[in-house]
């Protein structure tokens, strides 16, 4: 029996090995073709004079500026300043907004009491509060982490509340019929059932975190990708400026893919809507 199942397993693995590289290649081509085209256009347009190369340098120039900055470690220090701030603010928001949202969602009274104030805060653009944060917390790290935290909190909090409220009542009924304690109900039913909706909020927060952080760094900072972009613009280091912008895109991609991978891990049980 065991031998047979081993054989089946190794046959399956073999199958995977022979099929997958081709499929993977096909997928890679499909996913990167438009992207490659974009870079090609970027390369050609300034060269043939379609756009002014002084303001819009060719891709190869931007890439070489990027490479030089990478070698001189200049890029890394800005990148790490930005990613540290965004992860600190974002992580803080997750650590506080999720438990809070679970509790608020669970108790109708908390929900009714807090809903108006939550709506007010949610609709206050985080960037509008930037001057307030700088006044109160100065232009150091604290104000930047605080504004990222502020911007991330609302989508996470509101989606967590919605997630708890929208748990299928039949699942609750079914669990209750098995006479489980309120704590178990919360921990074993409400929490796992809420994860998909919670993640919608977390991903929204991830996008918001970068947006707000870059803006904050542009206004008042001595370090970070946002600061670097405005700095290079003022000093007319145009290829460097584009390199900074590209780096922000990379930062965004890293955060987004990290969250997607985590989400996939936590909701493996969900039907893949693309299948």
Footprint on this chain of other proteins (rule: CB under 8 A): 170-171, 173-180, 184, 188-189, 192-193, 195, 267, 269-271
d(C-alpha 122, C-alpha 204), whole Å = 13
Closer by beta carbon to other proteins, 134 or else 163: 163
CB of 171 to other proteins, least distance (A): 6
1 or 34: CB nearest other proteins: 1
Tell me phi and psi for residue 10, to 5 degrees.
Answer: -70, -35
Residue 62 tokens, joined: 């931007």
Q: Which is nearer to other proteins, 109 or 178 (by Cβ)?
A: 178
Min dist CB 17 to other proteins, Å, is: 24
Residue 240 burial (CB count, 10 A): 23
Q: Which is nearer to other proteins, 31 or 271 (CB)?
A: 271
- CB of residue 197 to other proteins, shortest distance in Å: 13
Which position has the token pair 């977390």?
202
Buried b (16+ CB within 10 A) or exposed e, 124-153: eebeebbeebbeeeeeebebbbbbbbbbbb
Spatial CA neighbour of 266 closest among 274, 25, 159, 258: 258
Shortest approach of other proteins to residue 270 CB, angstroms? 7
* CB of 191 or CB of 219, closer to other proteins: 191
CB of 175 to other proteins, least distance (A): 8
Nearer to other proteins, 53 or 196 (CB): 196
For residues 151 and 205, the answer to whether their CB atoms sit within 8 Å is yes
Q: What CA–CA distance (Å, rounded) separates 140 from 221?
A: 7
In the complex, what is the shortest distance from the CB of residue 162 to other proteins, in angstroms, rounded to a whole number? 18
Q: Cα angle vertex 21, ends 17, 23, to 5°? A: 115
Residue 213 to residue 129: CA distance in whole angstroms: 13
Q: Is 28 exposed, middle or buried (0-12, 13-18, 19+ CB in 10 A)?
A: exposed
């Amino acid at each position: 029996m065991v031998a047979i199942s081993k054989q089946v397993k190794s046959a399956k693995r073999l199958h995977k090995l022979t099929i997958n590289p081709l499929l993977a290649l096909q997928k890679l081509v499909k996913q990167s073709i438009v992207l490659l085209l974009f870079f090609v256009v970027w390369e050609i347009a300034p060269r043939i004079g379609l756009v002014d190369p002084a303001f819009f340098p060719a891709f190869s120039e931007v890439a070489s500026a990027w490479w030089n900055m990478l070698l001189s470690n200049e890029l890394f220090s800005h990148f790490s300043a930005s990613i540290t701030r965004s992860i600190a603010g974002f992580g803080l928001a997750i650590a506080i907004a999720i438990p809070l949202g679970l509790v608020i969602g669970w108790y109708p009274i908390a929900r009714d009491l807090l809903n108006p104030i939550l709506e007010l805060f949610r609709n206050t653009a985080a960037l509008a509060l930037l001057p307030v944060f700088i006044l109160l917390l100065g232009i150091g790290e604290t104000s930047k982490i605080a504004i990222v935290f502020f911007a991330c909190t609302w989508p996470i909090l509101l989606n967590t509340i919605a997630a708890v409220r929208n748990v299928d009542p039949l699942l609750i009924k079914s669990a209750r019929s098995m006479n489980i304690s309120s704590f178990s109900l919360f921990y074993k039913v409400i929490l796992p059932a809420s994860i998909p909706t919670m993640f919608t909020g977390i991903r929204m927060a991830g996008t918001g975190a970068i947006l707000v952080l870059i803006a904050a760094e542009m206004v008042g900072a001595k370090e970070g990708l946002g600061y670097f972009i405005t700095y290079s613009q003022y000093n007319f280091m145009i290829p460097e400026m584009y390199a900074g912008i590209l780096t922000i895109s990379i930062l965004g991609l890293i955060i987004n893919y990290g969250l997607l991978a985590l989400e996939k891990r936590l909701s493996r049980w969900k039907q893949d809507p693309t299948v």
